[in-house]
């Protein structure tokens, strides 16, 4: 079907939303609560657009396209409405961007800037929610005063993780994201809520104060913890990993991570971590080069096989290796060493 | 025709609140003790809430006589005279009903139907309320009950039903006024199965009790309407979503559903027609927003009651993602009558675009509050003055709020406005579900707006920004206006922010929450300006803007106010000082204790500017 968005004729797909069609056509519509992997919500309302023939503004993230629809994504009325919405949000926001870990990649900050929202003399100044920050759990700092109630965290927890550790409680102005009975967060700690939070309401405890967003280098890599091979992005400052996020690129995990991939990275710079092979000499481990270590292993395996036979050797591998690595390993034991004594923690 | 005398007592929530339970028990006790062969029956609200408790007596072959404001100690006298001697107790009689079936009327008792409260009413939805025992399906059946359901199941095609409802012009009575037949057609044609039918009995507007009265007084009419609708759209399962704060309605519905199942009007293969339909009750926890159809659906599904974006509409994707039709209690209650008497008969009431009748809950500063049913198109004036008897003596009618917290007010100048969907919208308000709150010149229009907005702000679900934060900010502006702390541009701010909340909110709650304040500014701008610029409230409602002033000439110097003042703001005023009381305006905290305590009524409240005599913080005479 054909729709006209900002005077551009676009071929749209049945069932697609106005936002999706506009995005494919290269048009940018601001959003705070929309996330392509989550159900459509329509809570923040900043994606409002005008549709020909309708009085009310409509939210592009929830409205399906229809044939012949004429859409305007930017007009004085739309800009004014978006600005008012942003000022309303900011009227109940601490606006302590100077010390907020989210600064630099905060969706609210970016939109406030783009729309020239009045922060200093906000016309809607009034009462603010006073909820103490919850940081008693191990991994996540939950600063409710910064929450814009976009419900991305509750939706990712429910729709993607199928955990449902959090939902919205209370009504109206005092609505709040909470665990059951509003206790300390105690869940799987996949951290996906932190990854989708558009503002500084949910942040990683381990990364607090470790570096501003623009100071960190970003390196895409694959998580080393298991064979799934999730795409991750390491945030690095001074050659140290200070935070891990799921990669934004196409990846097998499609934006999800588990507690290990997300939070268990402090081994990287641990001083006890082995970074070079060790060979035991005179009852003591001595550092060696890789060549040395491999030659030594080959030599010893050969000696043992000759003296005691193939079945005196066995191999144990790990589920943390990839399928390919495990395949090669069993091949080596079976064909190279000549024994069936091979296994790994998830069984061959 | 009655063979035994019948004593009929109004036992709706309004009757019970007025003390009907004690009257009922006393009547039972009395006839038991005196061995009188009479039957005592509880019925739903007949609408005359201002005359409750109501007790009616029907003697065999005589007209039904209505006694009003009955208390337990009157019982012996009334029953003795009326039942034992067939002489109505004149002292407490209100009226008698027009004779039917050749009943013999009593001389010189006015007819109920001709009383000013009833004369301009026309009862379709409420035809049984107050007339039948709601706990008896047989009484419902005796008044044509379930005839319409039988007709459609055995002699009408679903399309014919839809066509009849369309031609009748029936529009949704839940507030939106969407044409009912058209809605049914959407759902009938929607792809997907199963289909569901929901009756919206959440009724959360403050001051509204239309649906409650129908459910309490005539639950079968709603069930029958649902059977017809279910057959028309092709649904086999229905839900009635009723608020748990309506315990009597819940009880009557439970009984009615069980009776309907027993008589084979609900369940598998209804009356052998091959059509299956059953109804479950879902009790809501009392959130106003759960009356919004998509939030209601979420609530039935066990989710948090938050609205979902439309489209998709419930007709296509409703309960559990399936095609669902949802209508209001009153909408359903109209349907059996439309089927029985025909679309043309129904369309004969009302105006071109608003057909039939509408039930209203008349409350506020009105002489005769109650539940009324009037033909659409009736001028507001007739409702307020002819039916409701106008406002209390000595005060002036100021405005009427229709549509509750989602609607707006209609000022005295527009009292000739006709009650129909379009003309009410043109006047800046809406039909709403039927609450009508009457205001007189003692009502402050800033305070009224604050009251309604406070309700909407509390009831916002918190999903979307304009409603969650916007209504709160609008409320704060009104709070500071009534507290005398208004800012210069507050009126403009109310208008612009109100506009954004209306256009940008997700659901009807936010989209209509600014209506009361916007319409009150539209019609009573002066009062707002007075509050903001002059810091005065002409009605004396806004305490912070009131000044307590003593009339120096009439003060008796009794010292009572001096003792009562919790902050020692009153000087003199005792026999010792021989000077009349003087209130220090700076110290005064506007608690109003002196005003209430003065036994001689010499303390006045006035808006500061109006009084104009506040000097150096001390009040003076001449008000
Ligand atoms: C905040 C809000 C509260 C509502 N409350 C009710 C209600 O209590 N009862 C009702 O029938 N409709 C209520 N409605 C309207 C429903 O969403 C819906 O339009 C109606 O039930 C449809 O039935 P009808 O077509 O028969 O009017 C409410 C709407 C909103 C936005
Ligand atoms: S915590 Fe973050 S993701 Fe969750 S609702 Fe608040 S702003 Fe949205
Ligand atoms: S308008 Fe109010 S009640 Fe409706 S979705 Fe938005 S926050 Fe909830």
**pLDDT tens profile A89-140:** 999 999 999 999 999 999 999 999 999 999 999 999 999 999 999 999 999 9
Option in A56, A168, A173 nearest B469 (CB): A173
Q: What confidence score (pLDDT) does residue B609 get? A: 42
- Name the closest-CA residue to atom 3, ligand 2: A197
Tell me which residue has its CA closest to atom 6 in ligand 3: B464
Q: Residue B616 pLDDT more than 50?
A: no
Phi and psi at B8, nearest 5°, equal -115, 125
pLDDT of B545 over the 90 cut:
no
B287 touches chain A (CB under 8 A): yes
> What's the CATH architecture for A2-74?
Roll (3.10)
DSSP run (H or E) holding A218:
strand A217-222
B334 lines ligand 1 (CB under 6 A): no
Phi, psi angles (nearest 5°) of residue A5: -120, 125
Rounded to an integer, the average pLDDT of A259-270 is 93
Q: Which atom of ligand 3 is nearest to the CA of B459?
A: 3
How large a percentage of chain B has pLDDT more than 90?
A: 83
**The pLDDT of residue A132:** 96
- Binned at pLDDT 50, 70 and 90, residue B617 comes out as very low
Distance from CA of B462 to the nearest CA of A (A): 4
**Residues B43, B277: Cα–Cα separation, whole Å:** 28
Task: Return residues 447-466 of B near A (CB < 8 Å).
Answer: 457-466
Closest atom of ligand 1 to B296 CA is 17
Q: Where are the domains of chain A?
A: 2-74, 214-273, 278-347
Phi, psi of B51 (to 5 degrees): -110, 5
Asked if pLDDT for residue B620 goes beyond 50, the answer is: no
pLDDT, tens only, A202-233: 999 999 999 999 999 999 999 988 888 899 99
* Ligand 1 centroid – CA A312 distance (Å): 79
Closest alpha carbon within chain B to A174: B462
Strand partners, A204: A140
Contact B200, B294 (CB under 8 A): no
Question: Is A214-273 in CATH node 2.20.25.90?
Answer: yes
User: What domains does chain B contain, in order, with CATH numbers?
Assistant: 6-114 (3.40.30.10), 137-346 (3.40.50.11540), 357-440 (3.10.20.600), 445-534 (1.20.1440.230), 546-607 (3.30.70.20)
CA-based torsion, B379, B380, B386, B388: positive or negative: positive
Instruction: Pick the residue of A144, A172, A174, A177 with the most B CBs within 10 A to test the interface with B by mutation.
Output: A172
Q: Which of A81, A89, A168 sits opposite B503 (nearest CB)?
A: A81
In the prediction, which pLDDT does A278 show? 96
In which band, very low, low, confident or very high, does the pLDDT at B2 lie, cut at 50, 70 and 90?
Answer: low
- At B175-232, the pLDDT tens digits run 989 999 999 999 999 999 999 999 999 999 888 999 999 999 999 999 999 999 999 9
Q: Return the structure tokens found at B13.
A: 């929530």
Sign of the CA dihedral with B289 first, then B291, B293, and B297 last: positive
Quick one: which of B239, B242, B238, B218 has its CA closest to B230? B238
How would you label B452-474 residue by residue, b for 16+ Cβ within 10 Å and e otherwise?
bbebbbbbbbbbbbbbbbbbbbb
Q: Give the per-residue pLDDT at B622.
A: 40
Taking only the tens place, the pLDDT of each residue in B131-185 is 999 999 999 999 999 999 999 999 999 999 999 999 999 999 999 899 999 999 9
A240 pLDDT higher than 70: yes
Give residue B361's pLDDT.
95
Q: How far apart are CA B337 and CA A345, in angstroms?
A: 74
Among positive and negative, which fits the CA dihedral A322, A326, A332, A333? Answer: positive
Q: How far is the CA of A127 from the centre of ligand 3 (A)?
A: 19
Q: Residue B586 is encoded by which pair of tokens?
A: 């700076």
Could you tell me what percent of chain B has a pLDDT over 70?
A: 97
pLDDT per residue over A132-180, tens digit each? Answer: 999 999 999 999 999 999 999 999 999 999 999 999 999 999 999 999 9
Taking 70 as the threshold, does the pLDDT of residue B618 lie above it? no
Contact A171 B473 (CB under 8 A): no
Q: Residue B1 pLDDT > 80, yes or no?
A: no
Write down the pLDDT at residue B606. 64
- Provide the pLDDT confidence category of residue B607 given band limits of 50, 70 and 90: low
pLDDT band of B601, cuts 50, 70, 90:
confident
- Strand pairing of A48-51 and A70-72? antiparallel
What is the arithmetic mean of pLDDT over B257-272? Answer: 98
A42 contact residues in B (CB cutoff 8 A) = 308-309, 463-464, 506
> Which atom of ligand 2 is nearest the CA belonging to A199?
7
Return d(Cα B515, Cα A108) in angstroms, integer. 30
Q: Which contacts qualify for B488-496: CB closer than 8 Å, 24 or more apart?
A: B488/B532, B490/B532, B491/B521, B491/B525, B491/B528, B491/B529, B491/B532, B493/A123, B494/B518, B494/B521, B495/B521, B496/A84
| Strand, coil or helix: B280 | strand
Q: What DSSP designation does B179 have?
A: B
- How many residue contacts between A and B have a Cβ separation below 8 Å? 104
Chain A CB contacts of B499 below 8 Å = none
pLDDT digits (tens, 9 = 90+) for A294-329: 999 999 999 999 999 999 999 999 888 888 999 999
3-state secondary structure of B1: coil
């Amino acid at each position: 079907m054909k729709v006209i968005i900002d005077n551009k004729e676009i071929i749209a797909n049945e069932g697609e939303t106005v936002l999706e069609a506009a995005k494919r056509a290269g048009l940018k519509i601001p959003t705070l609560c929309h996330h392509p992997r989550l159900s459509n919500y329509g809570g923040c309302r900043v994606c409002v657009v005008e549709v020909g023939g309708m009085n009310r503004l409509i939210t592009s993230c929830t409205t399906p396209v229809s044939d012949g629809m004429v859409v305007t994504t930017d007009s004085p009325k739309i800009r004014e409405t978006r600005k008012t919405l942003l000022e309303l949000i900011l009227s109940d926001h601490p606006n302590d961007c100077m010390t907020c870990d989210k600064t630099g990649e905060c969706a609210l900050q970016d939109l406030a800037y783009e729309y020239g929202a009045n922060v200093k003399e906000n016309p809607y100044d009034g009462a603010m929610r006073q909820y103490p920050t919850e940081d008693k759990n191990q991994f996540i700092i939950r600063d409710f005063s910064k929450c814009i109630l976009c419900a991305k965290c509750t939706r990712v927890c429910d729709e993607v993780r199928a955990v449902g550790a959090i939902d919205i409680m209370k009504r109206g102005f005092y609505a709040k994201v909470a665990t059951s009975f509003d206790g300390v967060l105690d869940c799987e700690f996949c951290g996906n809520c932190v990854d989708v939070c558009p503002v500084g309401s949910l942040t990683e405890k381990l990364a607090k104060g470790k570096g501003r967003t623009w100071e960190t280098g970003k390196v895409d890599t694959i998580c080393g913890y298991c064979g799934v091979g999730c795409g991750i992005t390491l945030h690095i400052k001074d050659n140290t990993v200070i935070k891990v996020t799921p990669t934004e690129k196409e990846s097998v995990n499609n934006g999800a991570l588990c507690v290990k991939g997300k939070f268990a990275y402090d081994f990287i710079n641990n001083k006890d971590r082995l970074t070079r092979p060790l060979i035991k000499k005179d009852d003591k481990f001595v550092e060696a080069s890789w060549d040395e270590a491999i030659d030594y292993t080959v030599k010893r395996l050969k000696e043992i096989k000759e003296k005691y036979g193939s079945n005196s050797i066995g191999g144990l591998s790990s589920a943390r290796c990839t399928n390919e690595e495990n395949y090669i390993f069993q091949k080596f034991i079976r064909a190279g060493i000549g024994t069936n004594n091979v296994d790994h923690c998830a069984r061959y | 025709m009655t063979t035994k005398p019948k004593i009929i007592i109004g036992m709706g929530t309004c009757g019970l609140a007025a003390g009907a339970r004690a009257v009922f028990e006393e009547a039972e006790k009395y006839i038991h003790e005196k061995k009188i062969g009479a039957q005592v029956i509880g019925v739903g609200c007949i609408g005359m809430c201002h005359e409750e408790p109501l007790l009616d007596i029907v003697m065999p072959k005589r007209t039904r006589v209505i006694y009003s404001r009955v208390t337990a100690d009157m019982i012996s006298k009334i029953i003795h005279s009326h039942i034992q001697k067939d002489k109505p107790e004149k002292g407490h009689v209100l009226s008698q009903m027009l004779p039917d079936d050749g009943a013999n009327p009593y001389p010189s008792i006015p007819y109920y139907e001709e009383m000013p409260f009833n004369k301009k009413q026309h009862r379709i939805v409420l035809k049984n309320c107050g007339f039948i025992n709601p706990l008896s399906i047989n009484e419902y059946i005796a008044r044509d009950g379930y005839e319409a359901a039988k007709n459609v199941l055995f002699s009408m095609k679903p399309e014919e039903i839809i066509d009849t409802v369309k031609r009748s012009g029936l529009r949704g009575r839940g507030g939106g006024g969407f044409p009912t037949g058209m809605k049914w057609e959407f759902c009938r044609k929607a792809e997907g199965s199963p289909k569901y039918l929901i009756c919206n009995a959440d009724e959360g507007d403050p001051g509204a009790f239309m649906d409650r009265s129908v459910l309490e007084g005539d639950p079968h009419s709603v069930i029958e309407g649902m059977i017809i609708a279910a057959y028309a759209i092709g649904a086999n399962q229905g839900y009635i979503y009723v608020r748990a704060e309506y315990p009597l309605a819940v009880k009557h519905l439970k009984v009615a559903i069980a009776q309907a199942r027993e008589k084979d009007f609900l369940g598998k293969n209804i009356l052998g027609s091959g059509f299956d339909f059953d109804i479950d009750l879902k009790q809501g926890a009392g959130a106003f927003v759960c009356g919004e159809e998509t939030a209601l659906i979420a609530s039935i599904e066990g989710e948090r009651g938050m609205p979902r974006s439309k489209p998709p509409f419930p007709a296509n994707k409703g309960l559990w993602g399936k095609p669902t039709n949802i209508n209001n209690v009153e909408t359903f209650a109209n349907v059996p009558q439309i089927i029985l008497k025909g679309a043309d008969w129904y369309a004969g009431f009302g105006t071109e675009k608003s057909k039939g009748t509408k039930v209203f809950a008349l409350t506020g500063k009105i002489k005769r509050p109650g539940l009324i049913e009037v033909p659409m198109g009736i001028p507001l004036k007739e409702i307020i003055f002819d039916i409701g008897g106008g406002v209390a003596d000595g005060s002036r009618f100021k405005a009427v709020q229709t549509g509750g917290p989602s609607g707006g007010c209609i000022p005295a100048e527009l009292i000739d406005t006709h009650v129909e969907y379009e003309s009410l919208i043109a006047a800046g308000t809406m039909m709403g579900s039927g609450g009508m709150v009457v205001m007189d010149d003692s009502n402050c229009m800033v305070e009224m707006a604050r009251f309604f907005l406070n309700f909407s702000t509390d009831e916002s679900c918190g999903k979307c920004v304009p409603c969650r934060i916007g209504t709160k900010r609008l409320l704060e502006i009104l709070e500071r206006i009534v507290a005398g702390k208004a800012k210069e541009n507050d009126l403009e701010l109310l208008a612009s922010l109100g506009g954004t909340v209306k256009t940008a909110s997700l659901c009807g709650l936010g989209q209509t929450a600014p209506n009361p304040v916007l319409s009150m500014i539209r019609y009573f701008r002066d009062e707002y300006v007075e509050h903001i610029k002059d810091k005065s409230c002409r009605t004396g409602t806004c305490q912070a803007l009131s000044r307590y002033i003593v009339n120096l000439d009439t003060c008796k110097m009794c010292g009572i106010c001096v003792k009562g003042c919790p902050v020692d703001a009153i000087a003199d005023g005792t026999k010792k000082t021989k000077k009349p009381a003087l209130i220090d305006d700076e110290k005064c905290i506007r608690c109003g204790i002196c005003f209430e305590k003065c036994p001689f009524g010499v303390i006045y409240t006035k808006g500061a500017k109006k009084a104009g005599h506040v000097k150096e913080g001390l009040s003076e005479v001449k008000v």
